[in-house]
Structures are given as structure tokens and as C-alpha cells.
Amino acid sequence: MIRRHTGLNFILICIALMLISSSAYGNQSVHELWDRSPRIQAYLEAMLAALDTTPPVPELLPEPEFTLGYSNTLYWNGDSIAAEAASQGWQILFYEISAYSSESGTLWGFVDADVYSATFQDLPTGVTIIYRLRYYALNAVGQYGLSQWSAGRHSIQDSRPPELLDFEIINLNVSGNVKWVSRKTIDIRIQAFDDDSGKVMQIAFKESSEGGDQLFLYDIIPPSSSVDTIIPYTIYAPAHELITLEYWVVDFAGQASKSSTESFFWWTPENMVCWPNPFNPKIGETSIIQINVPDITLARIFDPFGQLVRVLEKSGTTEFFEWDGKNGSGEIVSRGGYICVVDGYEKLYCKIAVIH
């Protein structure tokens, strides 16, 4: 049904005159919103011959491609329509607005001349709905007029939010429960889906760190029901600071998908970084040692007295060493400060604190 935005001063005339418009869509079904009384029927029969169809044609304001939910409010510039009608000697009495879809047929209703919007409710979803507007008017000699229908405006009702199918930070390093990347600008792959009643319009990222929250929006151009894209994302937080990235997608109707999160940190490529620092090996934590020097395969852990504690080897394609806090005999070392030195690069080192 349609919800009226105000009281209707001319509702009896409006409903009666609706008989004239019942053929506006040929043989398609129509649904009247208020019953006609015998008195209205008689009034209609008396006025049929008095209608003039030359008043200027009105226009609805543009509609979005997709509209949220099961209801839609239509708008028009009543001041402009009234001014154009007055220029040709017509005073607008009331408006008639209709909505047609293949599922619901035609719905219509009426609003007063000083009201410039109307809301249709319980609309079908996933199908194109065509909206039109016209008005009834009176001229100086007492003749009633009926404008032609406006050009149709189209929209599709979307009641289902999009789905975030997959999210991947490309080149994300993982060791145990520690995740990180080796650069500030990263590539993120997003896969999302919306059904036929909607399209994905934006990808949203909320980055949270000690420095606060930052929200970033990326537009999908053109919006699409299926998204599989890689976008560059520049991290806002400083290096070595743990961040949480929450992400979701938004459709054309403004609905958001469920969100997911990923926690990680980043470091600058030119640095040697040991993280987390301090770390507690007794609860399963591992220190990740990132060294951006080609062909480095060995690193050594020393205690504060310069005694060798452990030799670390880096194999395969990994870009980092891992230290589980144990010495060469497999025992967890005492708490305190340790130094990791790159084999062959004595000036390249980092300090690691062990706690437990």
C-alpha cells in the first residue's frame, strides 16, 4: 500500500476520478487504495465530460537504481510544477502517483497539492518498479483538468545485504599467532557477491591501532553483483604497531555485509625487526626476526654476557627467522635481554626481551 504524507482535502474527488486512470497501463491489473462510495460514483459520472487533458506534464525527481527494503518514497518539485501549471492558467488540486511492477500490477494513491512526496510500502523486491506522477487541476473558468502521466522513473527494491565471500592480504607472513607484512602499502584481494536485487558499490576498511581508528572507502566502478578485485591499501598506523583491520562491503542501497577482521603489523623493508618484543615463550609466543638482506640464512642469539645461546636457520622462501625462546638444548632461557645478530653482518642486530 501507499502511505500518505498528509491529509487529503480532495480525497473524494480523487478516488472518483481514478476510474478514468484505471486504463493507464492497458489491460494490466490495478489496485485502488480506497473504496468508492455510490455518491462518489455519481459525482464521477457527472464530471467525466468536464476534464481537460492539456495541463503541463509534471516530472518526478530521479530515482536510484536500487532502493533499500520494501518501501520507497518518491519526490517531485511541487513549486516548479505548480508554477508551470499556473503559467497556463491551471491551479493544481491534488497529485496522483502510481507504481507498476510485473509482480504487483499497478498501485496508486493521491496527495494534496502542497505535498511533494509519497511512500509506497510492501513493494516486491528484485524487480523493476516504474513510478509515474500526474495531477488534477482547475482553471479560472471552473473547468477541471488532468495532466498526462510523467515519464517513468525506475528503481529496484533491495532487501538483502551483500555477502563478503573472501578477504586476503597478499604476502601476509604468518608464524604461530603472529601475522605481519613487510611494507606499508599492501595489496588486498576482495571477493563479494550480491543477488539480482542489488549491486556491491563500496569496500570499507576500518583500521584500528593505538593511534585511533581510521575509515577508508573504495568505490567499485561500475557497481557489480559479483566482485573479485585486488586493491592497494596504505596502512595508516606507524611501523611495528599492531593493527586490526575490519572490512566489509556496501551495496547500492546502502546495506552492509557482515564484517571480518585481521590483526597484524608491518615494518619498513630497510630495518631488522624482532617482534613481539618482549615475548613470553612459556605461553607459546615466538619472536619473529625479519631481516631484509638477500641470501641471509643464519642468525645467532647471544645472552647479555656474550655467550652464544642459539643458532637460527632460515630455509625455503621465508623472509624471517623464528626464535621460540629456547637454547640449543631445547630449554626455555631465563628471562632477560638477548641480542640477535645476523651471521656475517655484525652491525645488523636487534635486542629481544624474554619475559615469563
Which residue has cell 462518489?
40
Are both 42 and 111 inside the same structural domain?
yes
Is residue 238 domain-shared with residue 304, that is, in the same domain? Answer: no
pLDDT higher for 293 or 190? 190
Order of strands across the sheet that contains 320-323: 272-275, 287-291, 320-323
The reply to whether 255 and 320 lie within a common domain is: no
Does 116 lie in the same domain as 169?
no
Per-residue confidence at 17, pLDDT binned at 50, 70, 90? very low
Does residue 118 sit in the same domain as residue 13?
A: yes
Q: What is the mean pLDDT of residues 45-65?
A: 84
- The residue from 207, 236, 266 where one domain ends is 266
CA angle 212, 218, 220 (to 5 degrees): 160
Residues 151 and 186 grouped into a single domain: no
pLDDT at 316 > cutoff 70 = no
Last-in-domain residue among 266, 288, 323: 266
Whether residue 173 contacts residue 322, with contact meaning beta carbons closer than 8 Å, is answered with no
Residue after which a domain boundary falls, among 158, 176, 209: 158
Q: Per-residue pLDDT tens for 196-238?
A: 788 999 999 999 999 899 999 999 999 999 999 999 999 999 9
Counted domains in the chain: 3
Q: Which residue has the higher pLDDT, 20 or 223?
A: 223
CATH code of residue 77: 2.60.40.10
Indicate if 36 and 142 belong to the same structural domain.
yes
Residue 257 domain boundaries: 163-266
Q: Do 146 and 61 share a structural domain?
A: yes
Quick one: 7 and 154 in the same domain? yes
Bridge partners of residue 299, in order along the sequence:
312, 342
Burial label for 108, CB within 10 Å (0-12, 13-18, 19+), is: buried
pLDDT, residue 24, reads 37
Length, in residues, of the chain: 356
